[in-house]
Amino acid sequence: MDFYGRTFNTLDDVKQENIKAAPVIYQELLPKNKSVEYRINVFGDKISSLKYSNVQSDDWHFEDIRGIKMLEYKLPIDLKIGTVDLIFYQNTWYFLEINLAGDWRWLEHAASTDFSKDVLSILNN
Which pLDDT score is estimated for 1?
A: 36
Find, among 91, 48, 89, the residue nearest to 70 by Cα: 48
Domain range for 71 is: 30-124
Domain for residue 24, yes or no?
no
Number of folded domains that form the chain: 1
Which pLDDT score is estimated for 78?
A: 63
Give me the CATH number covering residue 114. 3.30.470.20
The yes-or-no verdict on residue 19 having pLDDT over 70 is no
- The secondary structure element, H or E, covering residue 109 is helix 105-111
Domain for residue 72, yes or no?
yes
Compute the distance between CA of residue 66 and CA of residue 34 in angstroms, rounded to an integer. Answer: 24
**What global pTM score does this model have?**
0.52
Compute the distance between CA of residue 33 and CA of residue 107 in angstroms, rounded to an integer. Answer: 22
Average pLDDT over residues 83-90: 88
